[in-house]
C-alpha cells in the first residue's frame, strides 16, 4: 500500500500487459450456528421433504445475536489474504445486500479491521449478482491503475432481512461470506479472469425487493406497510428469469473468452436453488461431474455464494489448478452476470 502524506491511497504504475485481473487468494467463512430443515419445520408450515426436493437445501448457517455482515466479511477477507502470497491491498470492494447500516458503507469498517486504513473501500449493491459486479469493478480499479491488488468480498446476512414467517424465503436464504484477492497480471496466466458479462432489467425490480427502508418509504407521501421492511421474492417468476439470464450470460462469457462450452471443467453458479443450477447446467450441457455445489450445506448466501463456493471447492480439491471455470449469478435488480477464469495454483487454499 502506498499512502501520501494525507493518508490517501496513491495509484500504482505497471506495465500495460499486466492489466488483466488475476485471482491470487481465496477464503470463505460461515458462522458456526447451523439451522436444519427440521428446525425450520418447528416454526413454519413446511417439511424437510419439501425443502430438500424444491431447493436442494438440508442445512444453512446463521449469524448469532450481535453479529453483523462486517463480521462475516472480515473473517472471509482475513482468510483470503492468508491464502495470498502478496498481502498488500490497494482497494477493498464489498458486495452486500445487508450492510451493517444504511450509511456509511460497510467496506471501510472491514478494511480498517483488516489493517487496511487509507485504501479506497466501498460497497456494491447488486444483490446475488454482487460478486460478479464486484469482479468487473475490481478489474476496472486494476486496469485504471487505482490499485495493483484488490480484496473483493461477498458477504450477506440474509437472515436479518427475510421474514422469519415467510416459508418461501426463510427456508432458502442464509448467512455467509467469501472473498478473493485479485492482482494485476497477464491475460494468459493461470487465474486470469476473462471478460465479465453483466446485465440488468429494472422492469422486474418488484420480483425481489425490500420495499421499505429507502428514500421512497421515508418520504412523507408513503408510509411503511405490513411486512414491507422484509425481503420479498416472487419465487416462480424469479426462477424462470434466473434460468434464462444465467444461461444467456454464461454463453456470452464463454464466447467472449474465446472458449466453447465443452471447454468448461467447472461450473460455479450462484447457489440460488439446486433446481435452478441443474436447469442452467442442463441448458448449457455441462456434465454432472463438472458442476460445483454447496447449496445443500449453506443455502442461498446472496453475494457470498460464488466466492464461498470457490473457497470450499478449492479446499476440498473439487476445484483444482488448471480447471477452466465458468461463474454465473443472478439476483434482484434484476441483475446478472457471468465470467470465466482458469483456476490458479494458490499458496494455501
Q: Considering beta carbons, is residue 130 or 194 the nearer one to ligand UT7? A: 130
Grid coordinates in use for 45? 408450515
- Check if 128 is active-site: yes
Residue nearest ligand UT7 by beta-carbon distance: 235
Beta carbons of 343 and 193 less than 8 angstroms apart: no
Kindly state the helix (H) or strand (E) to which residue 61 belongs, with its residue range.
strand 59-62
Q: Are 247 and 283 in contact (CB under 8 A)?
A: yes
Shortest distance (Å) from residue 64 CB to ligand UT7:
23
- Residue 175 in contact with residue 116, Cβ under 8 Å? no
Between residues 326 and 335, which has the closer beta carbon with respect to ligand UT7?
335
162: Cβ–Cβ under 8 A, 6 or more apart, which residues? 169, 170, 173, 230, 231
Note if 300 is an active site residue.
Answer: yes
Q: Where are the alpha helices (DSSP H) in 201-273?
A: 215-218, 235-256
Q: Which residue, 194 or 332, has its beta carbon nearer to ligand UT7?
A: 332
Catalytic option among 128, 290, 294, 323 = 128
Cβ-based nearer residue to ligand UT7, 121 or 208: 208
**What CA–CA distance (Å, rounded) separates 93 from 162?**
24
Strand 266-269's sheet: what is its strand order?
Answer: 197-200, 335-342, 324-331, 266-269
Our CA dihedral for 57, 63, 64, 70, rounded to 10 degrees, sits at: 180
User: What φ, ψ does residue 54 adopt, rounded to 5°?
Assistant: -90, -20
Nearer to ligand UT7, 25 or 56 (CB): 56
Give yes or no: 224 in active site.
no
Q: Shortest Cβ distance from residue 273 to ligand UT7 (Å)?
A: 3
What residues make contact with ligand UT7 under the rule CB under 6 A? 46, 50-51, 54-55, 128, 167-168, 171-172, 208, 235-236, 238-239, 242, 272-273, 276, 300, 330-331
Catalytic residue among 37, 273, 294, 300: 300
Catalytically annotated residues: 128, 270, 300
Amino acid at each position: 500500500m502506498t499512502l501520501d502524506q494525507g493518508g490517501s491511497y496513491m495509484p500504482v504504475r505497471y506495465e500495460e500487459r499486466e492489466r488483466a485481473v488475476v485471482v491470487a487468494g481465496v477464503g470463505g467463512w460461515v458462522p458456526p450456528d447451523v439451522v436444519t430443515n427440521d428446525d425450520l419445520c418447528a416454526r413454519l408450515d413446511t417439511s424437510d421433504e419439501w425443502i430438500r426436493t424444491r431447493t436442494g437445501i438440508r442445512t444453512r448457517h446463521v449469524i448469532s445475536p450481535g453479529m453483523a455482515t462486517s463480521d462475516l466479511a472480515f473473517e472471509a477477507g482475513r482468510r483470503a489474504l492468508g491464502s495470498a502470497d502478496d498481502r498488500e491491498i490497494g482497494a477493498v470492494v464489498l458486495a452486500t445486500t445487508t450492510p451493517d447500516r444504511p450509511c456509511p458503507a460497510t467496506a471501510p469498517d472491514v478494511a480498517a479491521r483488516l489493517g487496511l486504513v487509507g485504501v479506497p473501500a466501498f460497497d456494491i449493491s447488486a444483490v446475488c449478482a454482487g460478486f460478479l459486479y464486484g469482479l468487473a469493478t475490481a478489474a476496472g480499479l486494476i486496469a485504471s491503475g487505482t490499485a495493483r491488488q484488490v480484496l473483493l468480498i461477498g458477504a450477506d446476512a440474509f437472515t436479518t432481512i427475510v421474514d422469519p414467517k415467510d416459508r418461501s424465503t426463510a427456508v432458502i436464504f442464509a448467512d455467509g461470506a467469501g472473498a478473493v484477492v485479485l492482482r494485476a497480471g497477464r491475460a494468459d496466466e493461470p487465474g486470469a479472469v476473462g471478460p465479465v458479462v453483466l446485465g440488468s432489467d429494472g422492469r422486474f425490480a418488484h420480483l425481489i425487493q425490500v420495499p421499505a427502508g429507502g428514500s421512497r418509504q421515508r418520504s412523507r407521501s408513503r408510509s411503511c406497510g405490513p411486512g414491507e421492511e422484509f425481503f420479498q421474492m416472487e419465487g416462480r417468476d424469479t426462477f424462470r428469469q434466473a434460468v434464462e439470464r444465467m444461461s444467456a450470460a454464461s454463453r456470452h462469457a464463454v464466447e467472449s473468452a474465446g472458449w466453447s462450452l465443452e471447454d468448461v471443467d467447472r461450473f460455479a453458479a450462484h447457489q440460488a436453488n439446486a433446481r435452478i443450477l441443474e436447469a442452467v447446467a442442463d441448458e448449457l450441457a455441462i456434465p454432472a461431474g463438472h458442476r460445483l455445489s454447496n447449496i445443500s450445506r449453506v443455502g442461498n448466501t446472496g453475494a457470498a455464494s460464488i466466492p464461498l463456493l470457490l473457497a470450499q471447492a478449492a479446499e476440498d480439491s473439487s476445484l483444482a489448478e488448471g480447471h477452466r471455470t465458468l461463474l454465473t449469478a443472478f439476483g434482484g435488480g434484476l441483475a446478472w452476470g457471468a465470467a470465466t477464469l482458469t483456476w490458479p495454483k494458490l499458496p494455501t487454499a
